[in-house]
Amino acid sequence: MPNSLVARLETDAKLIRMLLLVRASLWTSHGAVARLADGEVARLNHRMEVDAIDAALKLLCIDPPPPLPPD
């Protein structure tokens, strides 16, 4: 029954879980400092990626977690 309602709901749940896991990992590394190969220091900013995930969650009628803290 690959086209059953239960199979589709399980697939949707896996996609939602994956989006939330990716968002959590971006949240954790947001604002971190990274030293590049040439010695330059860069501050990680994942605001656009988190906003895109939040928009996808809103389309799925899921309230996203709180927004990223200010830089």
- Give the pLDDT of the chain (71 residues) as one tens digit per residue: 567 888 888 888 998 999 999 998 888 888 888 898 999 999 888 889 988 999 999 988 888 777 777 66
In a domain, 66, yes or no: no
In terms of residue numbers, what domain contains 12? Answer: 5-59
For residues 60 and 16, the answer to whether their CB atoms sit within 8 Å is yes
13 domain residue, yes or no:
yes
Per-residue model confidence (pLDDT) at position 2: 62
pTM: 0.71
Task: Say what the pLDDT of residue 24 is.
Answer: 87
Contact criterion met (CB below 8 Å) for 69 and 45: no
At residue 42, φ and ψ (nearest 5 deg) are -125, 140
Does residue 69 lie in a domain region?
A: no
Task: Report the pLDDT value the prediction gives residue 71, as an integer from 0 to 100.
Answer: 62
Phi, psi angles (nearest 5°) of residue 46: -110, 25
With respect to residue 38, please indicate whether it lies within any of the assigned structural domains: yes
- The total number of structural domains in the chain stands at 1
Is 54 domain-assigned? yes
